Structures are given as C-alpha cells and as structure tokens.
Structure 1
Amino acid sequence: MTHIPYRNALIIGTGPGISASVTRLLRAANIPVVVASRHVDRLATLVKETGASALSVDATDASQVERLFAEAESLIGSPEVVIYNASGRTRGPIADLNPVDVEQVLAVSALGAFYTVRQAAKRMVPARRGAILLTGATAGLKGFALSAPFAMGKFALRGLAQSAARELAPQGIHVAHIVVDGSVRGAGRPDSEDGTLDPDAVAQSYVDLLCQHRSAWSWELEIRPWIENF
C-alpha cells in the first residue's frame, strides 16, 4: 500500500459498505480510526474486527457533531482525515412528498456535511494539513424522477465540496467529492461482478485520493462499474 500521509481518521455515517471497507484499509495501515453512526450498536462487528473506536452521533445536530469531534480528539488526536458518508433519501412524486421527510433528507445529506466540514476546518486550518472526503452520488450530477429530495441533498453536498476545496486547498487541506455512480454490493442488493461496485475497490479509490501529492490533488472523483452508462 502507498504510504498514507495522515495520522488518524474520523468516518461519519459508517455502515457495512464503503465506510467499513475504508476502515479496514486504514487500520491495515495502522492508522487509528473513529467510526461514527446514529446506530453505533451496528458497528460492533467492525470494531471487533479492526480495532477501530465507535462513537454515536446524529449528524443533523450541530452540537452533536461538535461533541463528536471533541470525543474523537480525546481518543485519537485531532482528526487529520474526515470522511462524511451519511445521506438521506425519500422517494415519491413531488406533489405527494411530506415536507418533514424532505427536510430530514436535506439535514442529513447537506447540513450534516456542513457541520462536519466546519468542525474539520476549525482543526485543520491552524495545522495547515488534513483531508476531507465527501461521499456523493449520481444524483448530485443529475436529478432523477421521483427522487427530488435525494438530488437536492447531493447537489448541495457537491456545492459544499467545491466551495470548500477552493477555500481550503490553499491552506493545505485536501477536499474531495466522490461521485459513487452505481449500486454498492451488499446492503441487501444482489451481487454482480459487472453491474455493481465492490466496496473494497471503492475504498481503495478513497485511499488513493488520500495519497495524492498536493501538487496534483483531485477535488472530484467519479467511480462506476465499467459497464455503467454515463
């Protein structure tokens, strides 16, 4: 594995797919990792397997995100890699959507990401180093029918990433937005070698971003199965 130039990591919105695979790769490189989720009990197997630390957080609550960073700092030091992998989704015709549900989707996909980037920047700017990776989706590039809230949240996430990259990169902080253009294997989806994304392969792309030299940083990376239309 290429040397990862960061000392620790915080992953928010950790589940059994991409986040778990990233955790395994980072821990294989002896990098301390804190994984965070609203359902922290679901992370027990990953914690036992990797030795990562698990903390609970509702990313839609700014005070909880602030507390999470403080708790993570007490466990592993100030996070040098922060990955935001949380998102919300509700589907249906626009005229039938419940505004409360839509607000929740936007809170998870966009506001939670902002709270996270804000706390990360507070710590990384003085140190003039760090990496912030934001997990996007196809919906952040094109909105699909019956999926307006998901598109709204992911478009906002992409805008946040682009703005943060322009602001923070000159201060030594690598901000990147990853467009996950396809279904990830597992999580109840049928596996297919060609038609779905292998979470371990996706995780390797995240690590590759972390290993980029600052003279050649990418602010956005699209990942898709080789047979995916685009």
Structure 2
Amino acid sequence: MSRSVLVTGGNRGIGLAVARAFAQAGDKVSLTYRTGEPPRAATDLGCLAVTCDVTDSAQVERAFNEVEAAHGPVEVLVANAGITRDRLLLRMAEKDFTDVMDTNVTGVFRVVKRAAEEMVDARRGRIVLISSAVGLLGAAGQANYAASKASLVGFARSVARELGTRGVTCNVVAPGMVDTDMTKVLDGKQRAAVLGKVPLGRGAEPAEVAAAVRYLASEDAAYITGAVLPVDGGWGMGH
C-alpha cells in the first residue's frame, strides 16, 4: 500500500537517500527544504518538495497542510533536518548551542507533535528520528551537536511509551560517518582518525542509512518501538 511519507531535511545527503528509498518503493513522498528553489532531485524522484524551517512553528504547520492536501495525512515521518555549529566548548557561543538545539531537538518536537495528531486518530503510524553515533559517544568540538542527538533517544522512547497503544511506533537511527556534504568538510587527517575507530574501516553510504529507516517504517518492524538502530560500522558498539 502506498503511504504518505514526509522526510524533513530531504533535499540532500541522508534525507534525500531516505526520500529516494521510499519513492522507489512506491510511496507518496514529501520532503522539506529550508530555502531557495525546490531541489532538482525531488522533482526527478516525483517527490513533493515543500519549504519548511523546523525552527518556525508556523512554517511547520503550513508544510503539513500542504503535504496533507497533496498526499493525505502523514503516515510515516522521518525527522532528519539538522544543523551543526562545531566549536570547542570554551569557544562556543551560547547561540551556537541554542541554534543547534532549536533545530535538532525542538524542531523534531514540532514535526513529531504535528504528525502524531493524525497518527493517533488513525491508530497507526511510523516515526523515525535521525540521531547520530556522536550522540552516544560524544565528540570534541561537538558538545552542542552531541547533546542534541542524545536528546532524541529520550524523546523517542517517551513518545514510544505514549503512543504505542495507538499503533504508532517511534524509533531512532544513529548513523556514524556517512559520505555526505556534512562530512566532506573534514580534512583527510580528521577523516582517517574517525575511520580508524570503525571496525568496518569505512564510512556508510547514505543508501545504507536509508535502508535501516525503511525497515523501521515497514510492517516487518511493527513490534519494534523505542529502539536505537546504529548504522555506524561498529563505531559506537556498547553505547
């Protein structure tokens, strides 16, 4: 059955790979992007692209209204939109911290709450939050990002407990090093340092993360909720 799927931050990287995976499976996919023109990749995939800054509640409401008008109520939500503002703690401005938390945590709260309203009425739904191995391991220079991604675990498990009796699952995917624009800013030495701690010795392809997301949104995962699924090549084992 074709479902209405919404991927936030779906214009590139992991989000785009997730949108592609659902679209290729025959779902009706919508994705959000923050500024500029609709991403060409969305058009090529036949996805509905809507502008939405998840730090703005009015934009979140407008985006959901547009998606619902085109595809019906959201049945699968993938909360992927996120930012980084990497700084060492003693050099980190308070705004660096609060901006990351507002996008990566409060932004997730906004979209999950809005999607859950319809899911609860329908008594079914799949919510998948994109966290990070960094949220479990910590990383120098990423106290804000790590805090935001760790927060998603507690948030997801609380949502899972609240909505489980209504047939709604909420799970977390925690990628490690993934070959995206976000990780391309690392120089060769930084990249080698991370990969040296990964048992599989390589970064993930975005499609590998997308496969984990699709699994958690599938009927095969109907009895999985409140889980954290690492896609990190073993980097975060034991956390």
Is TM-score (shorter-chain normalized) higher than 0.5? yes
| Contact 1:6/1:130, CA 8 A, preserved across alignment | no
Moved more, 94-103 or 193-202: 193-202
Give the alignment partner of residue 199 of structure 1, picking from 203, 206, 229.
206
Q: SS where residue 128 of structure 2 aligns?
A: strand
**Deviation sequence 1:145-199 (CA, Å, 0-9, x none):** 221111121122221111111111221001111111x221242638999411011
Shift of residue 76, structure 1, vs aligned partner: 0.6
Deviation string for 1:14-56 (max 9, x for gaps)?
1322221121221112211111010352x53212321001000
Do structure 1's residue 214 and structure 2's residue 222 form an aligned pair?
yes
**What's 1:134 paired with?**
129
How do residues 17-32 of structure 1 correspond to structure 2 at under 5 angstroms?
A: 17-32=13-28
Match of 2:91 in 1: 96
What 5-or-longer segments of structure 1 have no aligned partner? Answer: none
User: Residues of 2 paired with 1:133 and 1:88: CA distance?
Assistant: 18
Question: Relative to structure 1, is the Cα distance of residues 183 and 216 closer, same or farther in structure 2, using a 3 angstrom cutoff?
Answer: closer
Q: TM-score of the superposition, structure 2-length normalised? A: 0.85
The 3 A distance-change label for structure 1 pair 96 and 73 is same
Q: 1:36 aligns with which of 18, 25, 32?
A: 32
Instruction: Please list the CA deviations of residues 73-106 of structure 1 after superposition, one character each: whole Å capped at 9, or x if unmatched.
Output: 0111001001110122222232221112211110
Q: Do 1:21 and 1:203's aligned partners in 2 also have CA atoms closer than 8 Å?
A: yes
Match of 1:179 among 174, 179, 188: 174
SS in 1 for 2:204: coil
Aligned length: 223
Deviation at 1:208, TM superposition (A): 1.1
One-letter amino acid of the structure 1 residue matched with residue 12 of structure 2: P
